[in-house]
Structure 1
Amino acid sequence: MSLVEKNAMEDAGLRLSEATAADFFALLKPRVMSLVVFTAFVGLIAAPVHIHPFLAVIAVLAIAIGAGASGALNMWYDADVDAVMTRTVSRPIPAGRIKPSEALVFGLILSAFAVMMLGVLVNWLAAALLAFTIFFYAVIYTMWLKRWTPQNIVIGGAAGAFPPVIGWAAATGSVSLESLLLFLIIFLWTPPHFWALALFKKDEYGRAGIPMMPNVAGIASTKRQIFAYTLIIFPVGVLPALLGYVSFGYGIVAAGLGAAFVWYGWSVLKMPEGDRKMKPAKALFGYSLLYLFAIFTAYLADVVVGRALALPGA
């Protein structure tokens, strides 16, 4: 297209998109997607049935696309918030590389594609759960809870906790107590993870008008609640072993990871309120990412090793 034609289109209000493939990939929130895919994969493998490898790949791919679609819809709606926060200002929409309308259409198309692919090729229960998860994250959390209540992360955390349940449903066509325990681990992990971030990003959330817990209830209350959640997640992380879903080898690992989580929570609780560097909060935020990855890795390893040892002649 010539420069004259391009200028004519821009004058008519039809500005061409300058977005690259990398920009659209960034809309998918790939780092968040990686955790979603991993926890969904653990749920799928932990299910006590054999699923054909092709269907397993399709299920994980559909869940990944659905998670990416949620991220794109979140970035579309939250572009105004992202523009005033240093950690998000370089995202494609506030940076001007992608138009909001492009992100909206992109997210809607991916959402429909992911749900239909999972439903047609795997099963409709898993597809329905994926559709509900996308709706919950994009509408209930992003459009309502995030800007309305300091409990936004607590309630909205359900969206990020569904992937192992979806993975389990993809394999079995059902939901079980074991899959709901995996859901509960992520659900209880979410508040201390995000509130630690909110502590050292308090001023930015304030400028954006987001009612995060430190901005509404204060730093002292947030620190107490973070510590309380670490105390709760400690026994919940061990519970699958106590109920016999996995071995006590997993239980020992989970107990160690949970104890470290409590220690980091205690460090945050004892952090001086006037501490501007907030190193304990930053350390807890970093450790929380390690905790979720490690506990699901331990769960996956325990399931795989347990099945290998149960094979005849093994």
Structure 2
Amino acid sequence: MTALSERQADPARRLPAVLRARITAYVALTKPRIIELLLVTTVPAMMLAARGWPSWTLLLSTLVGGTLAAGAANVFNCYFDRDIDRLMHRTQKRPLPTGEITPRAALIFGAVLTVSSILLLALTTTLLAAALAAGAIFYYAVLYTMVFKRHTRRSTEFGGVPGAAPVLIGWAAVTGSLDWPAVVVFGVVFCWQMPHFWALAMRFKDDYARADVPMLPVVTTAVSVGRQTVAWAWVTLAVSLLLWPVAADYGIGLGYTIAAALLGGWFVLESHRLLRRIVRGGETKPMQLFHVSISYLALLMVAIVVDAIV
């Protein structure tokens, strides 16, 4: 092959790589690792509502619709946060700060995902599930991202609402309504988010301070954050134990309750360990609690699934 033909072939060889890079950038805007965590709570809620396995069509439609909705909310979050993302080491390599994707393209992408998710849920599940998804997108993209995150130390508590919304969406997709077991599981996921995200915020405290984001670890002492983390871990445990009396008719029994007590005890113990390290003034290691919190939630959802099936 001549040098000229080699140069002419280069663009053809580069095209797939460029396309892959562009697709990867768009996927990164949706924050897929966060979506995975949200979907972990959707399936147990659906199985609890259905008192067993829902139909595969309904399950897949809800998961795809929920993925698109969560992705849309995260894309809008990246769009509105692109100014502060440039200032934080943890986020400055996201597609918008690096220029891989333009703000206009991101905004269009988020709008397409929003419309797609709402239509899919409305046509294949229930109108209530679609409405809840639309509300969660608006809440996270506008209220949390544009208002709470930038103006109050309580942004994590406010942000816990859309973070726990997949539970309600999953339940509504099956029943077309809401009931107390869905509210309790929503409460568990809501309360769990405070220890989970505060641990992460402690790890990246300097980043948030640099971007002037008033996350709790930035605006108060580490001891105060540790004490509030412990309190919310205890509340998470208490709310999780409410599911047995509330959802006994849905198959929740002693097996789940024992698992919830043991897992909740582990979660609480790790939060106390974090507080103890803070008080002693040594290395706080907040990511230990962060990783434990992920395992706690995943295993608790498994316990719900097992009781719902058995």
**TM-score, length-scaled by structure 1:** 0.88
Match runs of 1:265-276 below 5 Å: 265-272=271-278, 275=281
How much identity, in percent, do the aligned residues show? 37
Counting only pairs closer than 5 Å after superposition, residues 89-108 of structure 1 correspond to structure 2 as 89-108=92-111
Which of these residues, 279, 294, 298, is aligned with residue 289 of structure 1? Answer: 294
- Match among 242, 248, 257 for residue 254 of structure 2: 248
2:226 counterpart residue number: 223
Contact 2:90 2:207 in 1 (8 A): no
Counterpart in the other structure of 2:65:
62
Aligned to 1:28: 30
CA distance in 1, matches of 2:290, 2:95: 25
8 Å CA contact retained: 1:67, 1:134:
yes
Aligned position for 1:44:
46
Residue 116 of structure 1: how far off its partner (Å): 1.2
Q: Which residue of 2 aligns with 1:148?
A: 151
Matches of 2:262 and 2:20, distance apart in 1: 49
Q: Which has the higher helix share?
A: 2
| 1:50-89 alpha-carbon deviations (Å, 9 max, x no partner) | 7432232112111111111111111111112222222212
Tell me how far apart the structure 2 counterparts of residues 276 and 138 of structure 1 sit (CA, whole Å). 37
Work out the CA distance in 1 between the residues paired with 2:110 and 2:92.
20
Structure 1 residues 140 and 216, CA gap change in structure 2 (3 angstroms): same
Contact 2:194/2:229 (<8 A) preserved: yes
Q: Deviations over 1:116-145 (max 9, x none)?
A: 111122211110000001111101101110
- Whole-Å Cα distance in 2 between the matches of residues 111 and 216 of structure 1? 34
Q: Which stretch has the larger CA shift, 184-193 or 112-121?
A: 112-121
Q: C-alpha displacement at 1:273, in angstroms?
A: 5.4
The corresponding residue for 1:81 is 84
Determine which structure has greater relative contact order: mean sequence separation of CA pairs < 8 Å that are 6+ residues apart, divided by chain length.
2
> Which deviates further from its counterpart, 83-92 or 268-277?
268-277
Structure 2 unaligned residues grouped into runs of 5+: 1-17
Residue in 1 that maps onto 2:138? 135
Structure 1: how far apart are the matches of 2:296 and 2:59?
25
| 8 Å contact kept, 1:189–1:229 | yes
Give structure 1 regions of 4+ aligned residues with deviation exceeding 4 angstroms.
16-19, 273-276
Computed over aligned residues only, the root mean square deviation of the Cα atoms, in angstroms, reads: 2.0
Tell me the equivalent position of 1:164: 167
The answer to whether structure 1 residue 195 and structure 2 residue 198 are counterparts is yes
Q: Distance in 2 between matches of 1:197 and 1:55?
A: 34
Distance 1:182 1:59 in 2: 18
Q: Displacement of 1:18 after TM fit?
A: 10
1:235 aligns with 2:241: no
